[in-house]
Copies of this chain bind each other. A is one copy, B any other.
Amino acid sequence: MDEAPFQKRLDDLKADRRHGAAELARLALGILAESAAAKAGDGPALRQTLLERASRLIEARPSMAAVRNLLVLFQADLAGAPAENLDALRGFAAAQAKARIVESENAASAAAMACAAALGENRTLLTHSLSSTVLYVFHDLKKRGLRVIATESRPLFEGVALAERLSAWGVPTTLITEAEIGLFAERADACLVGADTVLENGDVLNKAGTYPLALAAVDAGVPFFVCAEGFKWMPDGSAPALEAMDPAELGVPAFPHVRVENIYFDRTPARLITAYFNEKGRIQGARP
């Protein structure tokens, strides 16, 4: 993949609201796998191109640790690879990117299995937004008495897409507005969300609305769980910017003195979180 199509894919990734952090990280690795076929005079030039593209992909989604963590691993893979043989490097880079995709999928799946095992049978789970990792959990529990309460998840209603999926699996699902979370938290056995990023101190960046849901869970005395593979943990103390998206997504007419804000992520403090699940199992949260 040469520069022009790469730039197009990069722009798409930047604007992508259909996929969560883990999926975006895998999409970025897929772009790098295809980039292994990019025009290059020799091995070192190809390596340089791939390293730079990885950096540009990381910068495209600053809120998402999984993109950064997996792409930094790919960069490290590449930095250590011999570059004398251009074709060998192409093969190595493509294979390595694909191996990291599999590694990410396995981690997410293992985190979801640990979470599903801990949650157990006949549960009513309240979730917000549409997390591919949480979807794994629901898939695992769908024959074991699972019921789901899903928020519609404005502005793009991914909760409706989730409800459609759950319906196809035969899972009894209740769809509510974000405004109704205070009414429904107490009807759930637990709240369960994915994460775009888990910060070093345990705070969670996820779709805006996660933080109010955690507050409602605490007030209702209902546990609040986060399921997110280790690649979503931010290794240092940094907190990425919260990405804002196009205000037009809210579909509001233009009024002279009105500014529409469409910040996509919020930060849920660790003190509101009962436990995390990753591929290593359950990690106790800071909530008393």
Contact = CB atoms under 8 A, between A and B. Distances in A.
B160 A178 contact: no
B252 A152 contact: yes
Interface residues of A, number: 50
Interface in A202-221: 207-212, 215-216, 219
Q: Is the interface of A mostly helix, strand, loop or mixed?
A: mixed
Nearest to A214: B182
Contacts of A163: 252, 255, 258
Interface string A131-164: 0000000000000000000011111000010011
Interface string A237-258: 0000010000000101101111
A167 interface: yes
A201 interface: no
Contacts of A174: 258-261
B258 A182 contact: no
A227 to B, nearest CB: 20
A69 interface: no
A253 B156 CA distance: 15
B173 A258 contact: yes
Contacts of A252: 152, 160, 163, 175
A279 interface: no
A174 B260 CA distance: 6
A266 interface: yes
Nearest to A269: B219
A180 B166 contact: no
B209 A182 contact: yes
Given A182-B211, A211-B182, A173 B259 contact: yes
A4 B153 CA distance: 42
Nearest to A213: B212
28 contacts: A152-B250, A154-B154, A154-B177, A155-B177, A160-B252, A163-B252, A163-B255, A163-B258, A164-B253, A166-B257, A174-B260, A174-B261, A175-B258, A175-B259, A176-B261, A178-B178, A178-B179, A180-B208, A180-B266, A181-B212, A182-B208, A182-B266, A182-B268, A183-B208, A183-B263, A184-B261, A212-B216, A215-B216
Interface of A: 128, 151-155, 160, 163-164, 166-167, 170-184, 207-212, 215-216, 219, 242, 250, 252-253, 255-263, 266, 268
